[in-house]
Structure 1
Amino acid sequence: MPMETRRNLAEYIDAAVLAPALSREEAGAQIRTAIDCGCKTVCVMPWLLELAAQMCQGHATRPSVVLGFPHGSQETAVKVFEARQLMRFHPAEVDMVNNIGLLRGGQWDLYEEEIRAVGEVVHAGGARLKVILETSQLTRDEIMDATRACIRAGADFVKTSTGFTGGGATEEAAMAMLEAADRRIEVKASGGIRDADRAAMFLAMGCTRLGVGVGSVPQIVAGGGVGGDGY
């Protein structure tokens, strides 16, 4: 893989520390790996955000956190409350799972209302909002329509996948998102990225962020790849 294509992959990686059974000590070790590798952010479960924020102090890697994870089926008021709670620990970014039922049912007013409501809280706290579409559950048209809805609602990123439902990022899904985005919103490819060549491919397509399981990060940053940790 040419160096000019690969660039410094760590600068584009959100290292995912999202295994639900992790203890605080185990999560701390994984957060340390993300920091040592120089990742853009380390993305954690809500209960670990305070720890991640503390550990990231003084480092280039910033804390990020999931919201409405992993299915996105909470009521909007619950997501807004969760956003307020999370902003106490000053994450750099929040990755929110969209309401797939609203999306697939074409209830765009309610869909955008939820994103806008959470976005107001996140942006007021100085953070950026990513919306996880869960593209493995959607048609190409639904992916494109959702991307445009996220633009209208003021999100900063659209993201392919949680890594917990169906498949991860695919070229087809990323291309649909990028086409609909038309440079008006950033695109994050996430899930199933376990080697440097695949990471570089998504960047070359136009994605500006990669979600990578922390177990795969050291090898990807070194220019190789492993089986990964399931994300």
Structure 2
Amino acid sequence: MNKQELAKYFDHTFLKPFATNADLEKLCKEAKEIGACMVAINTTWTKFCKEQLKGTDVHVGAAISFPLGQAGLASKIAETKIAIEDGADEIDYVIDIGQAKMGNWDYIKEEMEEIVKICRENNVISKVIFENCYLTKEEIRQVALIAKEVKPDFIKTSTGFGTGGATVEDVKIMAETVDGQVKVKAAGGIRDWQTCKAMIEAGASRIGTSSSLKILEEFEKENA
């Protein structure tokens, strides 16, 4: 893998609640410079980032019901549609974690089906955020099995705003459960090349990080 190929793994991220124009301009500039796959932003910034990235192949990814997943399905559907209308190329939505904890798998499936359907109809990439820090290993497997059936484009470990982020063990569980039917995105706490490399080796096809530049710098040093 070379530096350009590694950069294509990155969803270059700024999801903090105090984001300003300057923060998002910087994010988009960096994403263009390194050749990232996507910028991960809150929905309100979709139009702004789409304009910043016009004429490039860097996608705009909107985070839906972020970071709690507790907005309800109708609200998630509305936010997804607004983000797509504003130019989102990718949708990362947070599952209703409480419903998963209660074992209400029919709800989790319906939620996934509805949002993935909207994305498919609009040729937009769909990603399902599990927020694994709140789930047992069996619950992670159960949500992944639903994803294997519904087939979003990606399942994703974490928001980065929970009590924990991506782990190699969880990435392996997710990748093994979907068995190549769905890709895996690792996100949350990935701040150096060694962690990033471990996630890729465990089966991640996409990396969500706000440390893209640092990771690339460390990668270059290792491969100099």
Q: Provide the rounded CA distance (Å) in 1 between the counterparts of 2:4 and 2:132.
A: 27
Q: What root-mean-square deviation, in Å, do the aligned CA atoms of Structure 1 and Structure 2 show?
A: 1.6
Match of 1:87 in 2: 84
Q: Which residue of 2 aligns with 1:135?
A: 132
Q: Flag structure 2 segments of 5+ consecutive residues without an equivalent.
A: none
- Give a deviation string over 1:173-198, Cα, whole Å, max 9, x none: 11111111111110000011111121
Letter in 1 for 2:214: Q
* C-alpha contact 1:71 1:97 (8 A) present in aligned 2: yes
- 1:34 maps to 31
CA positional deviation for 1:8:
2.5
1:6–1:171: structure 2 CA closer, same or farther, 3 Å change rule? farther
Counterpart Cα distance in 2 of 1:7 and 1:15: 14
- TM-score, normalization by structure 1: 0.90
Q: Secondary structure at the match of 2:8?
A: helix
Match of 1:203 among 200, 203, 209: 200
* 1:60 maps to 2:57: yes
Q: Is the 8 A contact 2:127 2:153 kept in 1?
A: yes
Deviates more, 1:141-150 or 1:28-37: 28-37
CA contact (8 A) 2:3 2:219 kept: no
**TM-score where L is the length of structure 2:** 0.93
In structure 2, distance between residues paired with 1:5 and 1:140: 34
1:144 matches 2:137? no
Q: CA deviation at 1:5?
A: 8.7
Q: Which residue in the other structure is 1:220 paired with?
A: 215
Question: How far apart, CA to CA, are the structure 2 residues paired with 1:103 and 1:89?
Answer: 30
Structure 1: tracts of 5 or more residues without a match: 226-231
2-structure distance, mates of 1:113, 1:86: 20
Q: Which residue of 2 aligns with 1:175?
A: 172
* SS of 1:8 mapped into structure 2: helix
After TM superposition, give the deviation of residue 82 of structure 1 in Å.
Answer: 0.8
Instruction: Tell me what 2:158 maps to.
Output: 161
Q: Is the 8 A contact 2:95 2:129 kept in 1?
A: yes
Offset, 1:154: 3.0
Contact preservation (8 Å) 2:164, 2:188: yes
CA distance in 2, matches of 1:7, 1:143: 32
What letter corresponds to residue 175 of structure 1 in structure 2? K
Could you tell me how far apart the structure 1 residues matched to 2:149 and 2:105 are? 10
Q: Which residue of 2 aligns with 1:99?
A: 96
Secondary structure of 1:64's match? strand
1:73 aligns with 70
8 Å contact kept, 1:113–1:153: no
- Count residues with an aligned counterpart: 220
1:15 matched to 2:12? The reply is: yes
Equivalent pair of 2:151/2:181 in contact (CA under 8 Å): no
Percent of aligned pairs sharing the same letter: 29
